[in-house]
């Protein structure tokens, strides 16, 4: 099975692209979804995060307050590294487990921090979704309600556009409309299907 790592900066359109590939029948492993599951009460990562960051990181229902956590980790790099040290090994292990269980010509592994977290060895190719910074900020504001200053802090914590593009085997530029994305995904679906191992 060909394993394609899907990545891009915040607001680049990764989720939209993943959904379009899913329409073509490609299995998607979404590491954001895995992270959500790991943060659930009762999970080892939940207990470790509470031990590291304190009870004040919880909301009234005992769930990790993701908004508060985001404020903390993007305001202080050391806090972000502490959180990543807890989550990334578990995300990596679960991603590998899910990959081992898939049977398909190719699959996508959606990892926002594919390059930063060193997950590139889990995939055969890297697909980068690229977009202008101004558009990325607009999209993130519309989707999340975050202010521009916080969005720029998140962008600064991620790999630079240049670093991502240097690692890319394939690039989709997402500065246009949905029809453009659909055409690009259809094109790459053909490429990946052709590159898939015989008999996959």
pTM above 0.75, yes or no: yes
Per 3-state DSSP, what percentage of the chain is helix, strand, and coil (rounded to 5)? 60, 15, 30
- What are 131-150's pLDDT values in tens digits? 999 999 999 999 888 889 88
pLDDT at 28: 98
Nearest-angstrom CA–CA distance, 61 and 121: 38
Q: Which residue has the tokens 């207990």?
A: 47
Confidence of residue 199 (pLDDT cuts 50, 70, 90): low
- What are 11-25's pLDDT values in tens digits? 999 999 999 999 999
Q: State the chain's mean pLDDT as an integer.
A: 92
């Amino acid at each position: 099975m060909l394993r394609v790592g899907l990545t891009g900066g915040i607001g680049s359109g990764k989720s939209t692209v993943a959904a379009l590939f899913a329409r073509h029948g490609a299995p998607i492993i979404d590491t954001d979804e895995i992270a959500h599951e790991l943060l659930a009460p009762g999970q080892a990562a939940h207990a470790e995060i509470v031990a590291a960051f304190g009870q004040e990181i919880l909301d009234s229902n005992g769930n990790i307050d993701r908004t508060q956590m985001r404020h903390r980790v993007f305001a202080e790099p050391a806090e972000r590294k502490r959180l990543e040290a807890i989550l990334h090994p578990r995300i990596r292990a679960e991603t590998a487990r899910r990959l081992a269980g898939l049977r398909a010509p190719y699959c996508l592994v959606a990892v926002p921090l594919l390059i930063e977290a060193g997950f590139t060895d889990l995939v055969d190719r890297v697909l980068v979704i690229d977009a202008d910074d101004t558009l990325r900020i607009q999209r993130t504001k519309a989707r999340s309600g975050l202010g521009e200053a916080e969005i720029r802090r998140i962008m600064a914590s991620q790999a630079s556009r240049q670093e991502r593009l240097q690692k890319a085997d394939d690039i989709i530029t997402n500065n246009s409309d949905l029809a453009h994305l659909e055409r690009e995904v259809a094109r790459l679906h053909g490429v990946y299907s052709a590159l898939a191992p015989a008999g996959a």
